[in-house]
Structure 1
Amino acid sequence: MSITASSTPFRTTLDTLLRKEAKPADKYGHQPRLYALTRLVGKGTEYDDDVVFAAAYLHDIGVFIGHRPEAPDQLRQWNHVQYALETVPDMLMGANFPEDKIPAVLAAIATHQPHDKPESIEAIVLRDADILEQLGAIGILRAVAKTGRDTRYETFTPIIAFLSRSLEELPAHIRLDTTRALAAPRLALLRAFLAGVEAEAQGCLF
């Protein structure tokens, strides 16, 4: 089972911080959903829940408007993970997060993307849960929401290409059996969605 701290003030502080910093506002939902998924992914596994909570809430701070660059050429080269690694320690200290756990939070953030190779159990739980957030109905919503407001996705066509890659590539990166079980219905839904788009677009998807 997870090692969960009792009621800890830093959790409320981090949640309040993320509600303020998440721009566009819909990006806030990823953090509490991700943390909820870590509880499912990590069920039956011993890990430090404080570390996972902090990493789940702060790993994407660098993708928010106001933290990332806006110029398209700069945005293409932007490393939101490196930004988080440089920014998160001060945020955690300001929230009275246990200082001795900060390195573990940073290690989880550093390897939260699908192509990374997390080593600690906290990092594995976080990365597996983050993969689930890119699949199923939520994965579709998050992807389609980028259309027209992310310079990489001006039309639906690159969004469908992105979702197709997710379907093909992400399952191989899952590490835990619990995650594989949770991923199965999400993969089926995503597969059905992509098939539906192909059938309904009639070759005219813009």
Structure 2
Amino acid sequence: MTLRDWRESVIEYIRIEARPEDKFGHQPRLYALAGTIGQDMDYDDDVLFAAAWMHDLGVFSGHCPQDPEQLSRWDHVPYTIDRSIELLTGWGFPKEKLDAVAQAIQKHQVKDEPTTAEGTLLRDADILEQLGAIGILRTVVKVGRDTRYPSFSSILPVLNYSVNHLAHQTRLIRSKAMAESRAEMLRSFLSAVYDEAGDLLH
């Protein structure tokens, strides 16, 4: 397979499997954002592309438990890594780079400490996706769809956590600047919510 072939296979697969459908946009945004952050860095673009597009496979409907109790204990990362390696191998992804993809996916969450350039880029970009206007959209869409968030008031702790904690967790200079800007936008939004609704938000 050519470079173009495996990348097209990845995109087409995620386009089909990303459910609910709004989850699809996160992947191309994440890859583009990571590339922006890393424009002056030395990293493997094959690894970054594969990791960015595949990293959330285990949270898609059909790839994770449907039972709320089981879902609350679900760690999507091991499943995502195993399935990604299997799929990428079938699509002709360079075998010598599979371990690097696995490492990037393994360390992409806020709690993690990535040791590779690709993992650091992926983690910082994933944090940025939880801030600003995109962070608001990705959180609000869960209301009434995710059993953890039955109302608007139930997502305010998530947004407050993002602005007060996540905004300070990025590692790279460029992503820190972007996080500050996005966090300020999120603060303005939350302030407007409290001003407009007070204790009456449901």
TM-score interval, normalised by the smaller of the two chains: over 0.9
The reply on whether 1:68 has 2:30 as its aligned counterpart is: no
**Where does structure 1 differ by over 3 angstroms across 4 or more consecutive aligned residues?**
none
CA drift of 1:8 comes to 2.9
Q: How far did residue 75 of structure 1 move?
A: 0.7
Which of 142, 151, 155 lines up with 2:151 in the alignment?
155
1:169 aligns with 2:136: no
The DSSP-based 3-state class of the residue aligned with 1:66 is coil
Counterparts of 1:13-92 in structure 2, within 5 Å, are 13-92=9-88
TM-superposed CA distance for 1:163, in Å, is: 0.6
- Provide TM-score, normalisation by structure 1: 0.95
Tell me the CA shift for residue 7 of structure 1: 5.0
User: Which position in structure 2 is the counterpart of 1:3?
Assistant: none
- Which residue identity is paired with 1:11? R
Residue in structure 1 matching 2:97, options 98, 101, 121: 101
Percentage of matched positions with identical amino acids? 49
CA distance in 1, matches of 2:150, 2:77: 24
Superposition deviation, residue 86 in structure 1:
2.0
Shift of 1:173: 1.5
| 5+ residue gaps, structure 2 | none
Q: Secondary structure at the match of 1:154?
A: coil
Shift of 1:95: 1.4
Q: Distance in 2 between matches of 1:186 and 1:173?
A: 13
Q: CA deviation at 1:57?
A: 0.4
Count of aligned residue pairs for this structure pair: 201
AA paired with 1:197?
V
Distance 1:160 1:184 in 2: 19
| Runs of 5+ consecutive residues of structure 1 not aligned to the other structure | 1-5
Amino acid at match of 1:89: I
Checking the alignment, whether the CA contact within 8 Å between 1:115 and 1:173 is kept in structure 2 is: no
Where 1:202 maps in the other structure, the secondary structure is helix
Letter in 1 for 2:144: G
Name the CA distance, whole Å, in 1 between partners of 2:198 and 2:184: 22
Give deviations 1:157-181, integer Å, cap 9, x for gaps. 2211101001111122110001012
The letter of the residue matching 2:179 is A
TM-score (norm 2): 0.97
Whole-angstrom distance in 2 between the partners of 1:141 and 1:27: 11
Cα-to-partner distance string for 1:18-40 (whole Å, 9 max, x where unaligned): 00101111100000000000111
- For residues 198 and 38 of structure 2, the distance between their equivalents in structure 1, rounded to whole angstroms, comes to 42
Corresponding residue to 2:115 among 115, 119, 127? 119
Aligned equivalent of 2:184, options 176, 184, 188? 188
